[in-house]
Amino acid sequence: MQTLELNFDEVTLISDAHFGEFYSNPNKTSYFENFLDNCKIKTLLVLGDFLDFWYEYKHVIPKRNFKLLVLLSNLQKSGTEIFYLAGNHDFYLGTFFETELGIKTVDKKIILNSGNKKILCVHGDEAFAEKRYLFTKFVLRNKASNFFFRLLHPDFGIGLADFVSKKSRRKHLDYLPPDDKIIEFAQNQVNNGFDGVVAGHYHKPKLLNFEKGFYLNTGDWRKNFTFGEINRGIPQLFEWNGKEKVFFKPDD
């Protein structure tokens, strides 16, 4: 599904946890588990890259993600509605999330109607992206590429993906891309009729109010442990300190 339109007054939004990456804060999983246990979440929107790598074979999924998938499954069974928007690390979501976990997946964007506000939710990697990036993403995700990748034994295929991810992470471990393009994208979308834009990808938690709308970046769950909430169209940005949610305060 390319686009999904939802109607919820209260939603929680999270992205870019990158669970399973070789570099990982030791508190990350326990923080997330405590976050789910202590926050009353009615609807959860995951805006991509919750896992550092996801590829669904016909009969196999990466076992290292099992605990996180159980947490999501239990959350869904408790009554929370969960929607997963694909990020650039979600190479092939397949049908597992929907059939086994009850989590609806979306490829491109979610349009959220909250209160009387119309809000665009995206991962953010395609905002003003270079043609080379978009072409590479298309090649990696088209049916032919998926067919040939599935021919690889999962141990080799997942190992290959890990190798590429580690190489990229070590080279750009502390690098965060400038977010001026996504902010410009958000401003354009507000000018064209949306009341707000929510994105992830940039790992830069931020809430900006424009003259007629807003831009919210949910940040990440790697270092900042941040997430967004929208209540009847009003956005807020929080961080989880291990025990409770507090309003996010940027360092600068």
Specify burial of residue 106 (Cβ count, 10 A radius: 0-12, 13-18, 19+).
Answer: buried
Q: Is the pLDDT at 125 greater than 80, yes or no? A: yes
* Prediction pTM value: 0.88
Q: Is residue 185 part of a domain?
A: yes
> Where residue 54 sits, what CATH number does that domain have?
3.60.21.10
Q: Is residue 143 part of a domain?
A: yes
Q: Is the pLDDT at 130 greater than 50, yes or no? A: yes
pLDDT of residue 80: 96
- Domain range for 174 is 3-247
Say how many CA atoms lie within 13 Å of 177 toward its Cβ. 13
3-state percent helix, strand, coil for the chain, nearest multiple of 5:
30, 25, 40
Report, as an integer, the average pLDDT of 234-238.
Answer: 98
What length does the chain have? 252
pLDDT of residue 153: 84
Q: Is residue 35 part of a domain?
A: yes
Q: Is residue 164 part of a domain?
A: yes
Specify burial of residue 116 (Cβ count, 10 A radius: 0-12, 13-18, 19+).
Answer: exposed
Q: Is residue 252 part of a domain?
A: no
Domain count, the chain: 1
Q: Which carries the bigger pLDDT value, residue 82 or residue 170?
A: 82
Q: Is residue 30 part of a domain?
A: yes
Q: Is residue 170 part of a domain?
A: yes
pLDDT band at 118 (very low <50, low <70, confident <90, very high): very high
Q: What residues contact 231, with CB distance under 8 A and at least 6 apart?
A: 9, 10, 114
Report, as an integer, the average pLDDT of 189-213.
Answer: 95
CA distance 133 to 136: 5
CA–CA distance from 240 to each of 18, 64, 192, 205, 249 (Å)?
A: 16, 24, 34, 13, 12
Q: Is residue 214 part of a domain?
A: yes
